[in-house]
Amino acid sequence: MADQRSLPEETHTADPFGSQPILHEVDSWWKIRLTLMRRSLRENWRIFRRSKVGVFGLVIIAFWAIMAVMPTVFFATGFWNPAVYDPVTGLELNPPTRTMTMVERITDPNTEIDRRAVLLDGRIPDTLQIGDTFELPRQPAPPDGRHWLGTDPLGRDVLSQLMHGARASFFLGILAAVVTVVIGTTVGSMAAYFGGIVDAFLMRLADLLILIPGLAILIVIGAVFTFQLWHLAVVIGILSGFGGTAIVLKSQALAVKVKPFIDAARVAGGSARHIIFYHLIPNVMPLSVLYMMFTVTAAIQSEAVLSFLGVLNTDTSWGLMMNLARTQGYLLQVVDFWWLTIPAGLSVTLLSAAFFLVGRGMDEIVNPRLRRR
């Protein structure tokens, strides 16, 4: 979403679970289904485990999941005082100070100031003479024992923001992915099952959504609504669910539709709804879960970019942390103020990469042709 990127558009033709037994008994249906699912889960986990990249991604996700929970623990145990560590309203009232010496010409900007600094910083008194020292409060402050990743230009704890940002990313990514999958599978299956006008309409709608330049349209929508995180998640979900994902899942559903068990169900008098929800969708689901992973990646990236551009109205997010560094001019002071940009930038990258890697790992399950012989 962020820039010119092409998500791999692959042709998935395989039926992931093999042919399913035809089941007529509605009572036992769920039980058998559950048993099968449990069995296939175990089997799939076995396959997934072999994919090193997938496991690697899963480890990263687990790490961030723990990070996302930590603030609750810290606040609950009193380890963190909300007045100081709250990611939005927290404020370090006693930032560390640095002794600066007034000099004629600066040679070491970390310990010296010159007359230009008096102009630049309202807190430095203009009575300082050459050779005088001054205790300058540091905000943003570098990492220390109180703030493990330092504080930002508004005196707030960076680590706390990072953890809350992880929470926001998970919330956004997973919500967007669920919306995508629900819409994508339903639309794809319906288009495949009914064909004709329904299919033409849904597929043209999908084409329409693919036409739209993603970031620009998100900015438009962001200007119409007071854009919050869950709005963004739903919009991304809709764009992707009715758009690209629907097309891929439709082709998968088409392949399932011609399988004998669908005919059997139809002959046995199954309604369209029954066939779509009990036969088509369950068989399309694995592939859609794969696309779910890619949606999470796209959603996290979109949020970061929109926040970075200052279009989104969120409290805390990684993109917003970068935005603050950008608007306050710290973005390119990579060495001096690394804690303002590198943790947030790296987090966006790591978490979205992790979901992508898990997606790749799942690809091996969904797409048996890719498995090692």
Q: How far is the CB of 170 from another protein (least distance, A)?
A: 16
Among 18, 26, 27, 120, binds another protein (CB under 8 A): 120
Q: Quick check: 304 binds another protein (CB under 8 A)?
A: yes
Contact window for another protein (CB under 8 A) among 20-28, 67-75, 231-239, 364-372: 364-372
Among 102, 158, 312, 362, which residue interacts with another protein (rule: CB under 8 A)?
312
Which of 29, 222, 232, 263 touches another protein by CB under 8 A? 222
Residue 38 found at the interface with another protein (CB under 8 A): no
Question: Interface mask (CB under 8 A) for another protein, residues 41-70, using x and -?
Answer: -----------xx--x--------------
The site that binds another protein (CB under 8 A) totals a number of residues, namely 104
Q: Of 63, 114, 182, 277, which lies in the binding site for another protein, with binding defined by CB under 8 A? A: 114
Q: According to the binding rule CB under 8 A, does residue 6 interact with another protein? A: yes
Angle subtended at Cα 360 by Cα 354 and Cα 364, rounded to the nearest 5 degrees = 145
CA-based nearest residue to 63, from 208, 166, 161: 166
Q: Are 303 and 295 in contact (CB under 8 A)?
A: no
Of 27-35, 179-187, 204-212, 281-289: span binding another protein (CB under 8 A) = 204-212
Q: Centre a 10 Å sphere on the Cβ of residue 165 and count the other Cβ atoms it contains.
A: 31
> Smallest gap, in angstroms, from Cβ of residue 178 to another protein?
21
221 belongs to the binding site for another protein (CB under 8 A):
yes
Nearer to another protein, 13 or 72 (CB): 13
Closer to another protein at the Cβ: 6 or 127? 6
Footprint on residues 224-253 left by another protein (CB under 8 A): 224, 226-227
Site string for another protein, 159-198 (x = CB under 8 A): ------------------------------------x---
Give the side-chain half-sphere CA count within 13 A for 28: 6
Residues 255-294 that bind another protein (CB under 8 A): none
Which of residues 106, 234, 255, 289 is near another protein by CB under 8 A? Answer: 106
C-alpha separations of 298 from 6, 36, 201, 317, 333 in Å = 11, 32, 26, 15, 28
Q: Which of 62, 212, 268, 272 binds another protein (CB under 8 A)?
A: 212
The verdict on 22 binding another protein (CB under 8 A) reads: no
Q: Which of residues 132-151 bind another protein (CB under 8 A)?
A: 137, 139-140
Burial category of 17 from C-beta neighbours within 10 Å (exposed 0-12, middle 13-18, buried 19 and up): middle
